[in-house]
Amino acid sequence: VMEFETLEGGYMAKIFVPAGAKDIAVNSPVCIMVENEEDVAAFADYPMPDGGAAAVAEPKKESAPASTPSVPASTPPPAAVPQPVSMPTIAAPPSAGRIFASPRARIMAADKGVDLSSVAGSGPGGRIRAMDISSASPSLVSTGTGSFTDIDVTNVRKVIADRLVMAKQSIPHYYLSIDLRMDELLRIRSELNSHTSVAGKTKLSVNDFVIKAAALAMKTVPEVNSSWMDSFIRQYHYVDISVAVSTDNGLITPIVKNADQKGLVAINTDVLDLAERARAKRLRPEEFQGGTFTISNLGMFGVKNFSAIINPPQSCILAVGTAEKRLVPDEDSETGFSTATVMSVTLSCDHRVVDGAVGAQWLAAFRRLIESPNSMLL
Cβ pair 255, 240 in contact under 8 A: yes
List 23, 162, 273, 355, catalytic entry: 355
111 is known as an active-site residue:
no
How far apart are alpha carbons 11 and 334 in whole angstroms?
A: 93
CA distance 102 to 95: 18
Q: Which residues contact 161 (CB under 8 A, 6 or more apart)?
A: 153
Our answer to whether residue 355 is catalytic in this structure is: yes
3-class SS string, the chain: CCCCCCCCCCEEEEECCCCCCCCCCCCCCCEEEECCHHHHHHHCCCCCCHHHHHHHHHHHHHCHHHHCCCCCCCCHHHHHCHHHHHHHHHHCHHHHCCCCECHHHHHHHHHHCCCHHHCCCCCHHHCECHHHHHCCCCCCEECCCCEECCCCCCHHHHHHHHHHHHHHHHCCEEEEEEEEECHHHHHHHHHHHCCCCCCCCCCCCHHHHHHHHHHHHHHHCHHHCEEECCCCEEECCCCCEEECEEECCEEECCEECCHHHCCHHHHHHHHHHHHHHHHCCCCCHHHCCCCCEEEEECHHHCCCCCCCCCCCCECEEEEEEEEEEEEEECCCCCCCEEEEEEEEEEEEEECCCCCHHHHHHHHHHHHHHHHCHHHHHC
Residue pair 369/213 in contact (Cβ under 8 Å)? The answer is: yes
Per the residue annotation, which of 173, 179, 183, 351 is the catalytic one?
351
Catalytic machinery residues: 351, 355
